[in-house]
Structure 1
C-alpha cells in the first residue's frame, strides 16, 4: 500500500488529477529522498550579549560532533559509521539520517572567539557565541530637539 498526497481544490482542467500525481512523485518518492540535502536544519538568533546557533540533529550522541573554529569560521561536523543494527532494518521512509555532514558559519567580527560553548540535549545541538564587550549594543533614548 502506498500513501499518495492529493492537492484538494487544485486540478488540471484537461486531465484531472495529473498535477497531484506529479506532485506526489516529486515530493514523496525515492527520487525526492535522493534530492534532499542531508544536513540538519539550523536556527540562528542574536541577543544583546550572544549569538545562538541551534542544529536539529536527532539520533546522534554528543561524541559524534566535532566543532572547530578556524579564524572566524565555525564548523560543525559529524562523521558516523552505520551500526549493524541500522543496516539490517528495512525502512519504508527515512527522513533523518545524519551519517556525515558539515555546516559552517562565518562569525562576525563582534563575536568573542574565546567564549564559545556547546551543548547537545534532546536531539538539539546548541552553540552560544558571546559577543565582545565593545560590540554589545548599548540602548538609550535619543532626545529630539
Structure 2
C-alpha cells in the first residue's frame, strides 16, 4: 500500500489501492460483464462512477461491511407468450459484483449513491480530519 503525506499526516492512497494490478485480477473480470468504473479524488471526497446502462435504481445493492464497499446487481427477466399452437418462453439472467477496500479516511456513514442516465455514482466523503486545513496565522506570544 502506498502512503500519501498531507499536512504532515500519512494516509494510504486510495487511488493506488483501486488500481493495484492484482486487485482487478487481470482481464477475466472484463470478460464477465463487470462494469467499468472511474475513480476520482478531490479535496472533499472520492467519486466512483459505474457505467451500467439499461437498469433501474432498484437493481443495485450498495453496502459497506468491515471497511469493504461492495456494489452488486442481480437481474432476472422472464417473458412467456401463450397462443393456441405454441408457448414461447424467454428468460435472461445477469449479475456482477465489485468490491473495494476503503481507506480509513472515508466517512462510511455518509456515503451517497445515485443512478442517472445509466451512470451509478457514489460519493465517498472524507472524514473531517482527512480534509486539507486552510492556511492560518499563528500569533507569537
Specify the alignment match of 2:111 in structure 1: 116
Structure 2 gaps of 5+ residues are 1-29, 81-88, 136-141
Distance 1:124 1:98, change over 3 A: farther
Other structure's SS at 1:111 match:
coil
Distance 1:52 1:98, change over 3 A: farther
> Between Structure 1 and Structure 2, how many residues are aligned?
99
Give the 5 Å matches for 1:1-145: 36-84=31-79, 88=90, 99-138=94-133
Q: Could you give the per-residue CA deviations for residues 1-54 of structure 1, whole angstroms, max 9, x where no partner exists?
A: xxxxxxxxxxxxxxxxxxxxxxxxxxxxxxxxxx82311000011110011011
**Runs of 4 or more above 4 Å deviation:** none
Aligned mates of 1:128, 1:119 — CA distance in 2: 9
Corresponding residue SS for 1:80: strand
Question: Is there any run of 5+ residues in structure 1 with no aligned partner, and where?
Answer: 1-34, 90-96, 141-145
Give the TM-score, by structure 1 length: 0.61
Higher strand share: 2
Shift of 1:84: 2.1
Superposition RMSD in Å: 2.5
SS of match in other structure, 2:107: strand
Which structure has the bigger radius of gyration? 1
